[in-house]
Amino acid sequence: MKIVINNYRKIFAIQEEFSGMFPGLKIGFHAKPNKQGGAPSAKVIMHSGKTILDCRVISRKGTIEIIPTMSISELKDNFRDVYGLSAEIFKKGGVGNNENPLNESMTLGETSKKNPV
C-alpha cells in the first residue's frame, strides 16, 4: 500500500489518507522548509483545502510515494526537496493532547505499530 502525492492533492486529503494508512500518526505541514537539522518554520498551513501546488515554495515537477518502509526523516526530506514544504509526523492524542515529533530514524510502519490509536 502506498500514498502518491502530487501538485494537485489537497492537504486535508493527504492528512486523511496518511492517518488511515498509519493509525496513531498524523502529518502536519509548515509553509516554509526547515534548515537541515533545524526547527521547522512556525508558519503552519492553515487552509487544508489548498493543494500542494498552492502551498509549495519550489516550482519543480515531482511526485512522492509514501510507503511503510520509508523513514520519517526520508519522508520529511522528500517533502522539502520536491515541494519545498516542511512536514512533521506526530503521534495522535497523548496526554493533554500534546503532540511531539517522533524518532525520525524509524520507519512509518514501525512508528505506527508502536503508536496505535
How many CB atoms are located within 10 Å of the residue 46 CB?
8
User: What is the Cα Rg of the chain in Å?
Assistant: 13
Q: Decide: 65 and 3 in contact? Cβ < 8 Å.
A: yes
Is pTM beyond 0.95 here?
Answer: no
Residue 97's pLDDT is: 41
Cell 508558519, located at residue? 43
Q: Where are the chain's structural domains? A: 3-114
Residue 69: pLDDT band with limits 50, 70, 90 = very high
Give the amino acid at 98.
N
Residue 67: pLDDT band with limits 50, 70, 90 = very high
Closest CA to 43 of 93, 84, 14: 84
Residue 79's alpha-carbon distances to 5, 74, 113, in angstroms, are 9, 9, 23
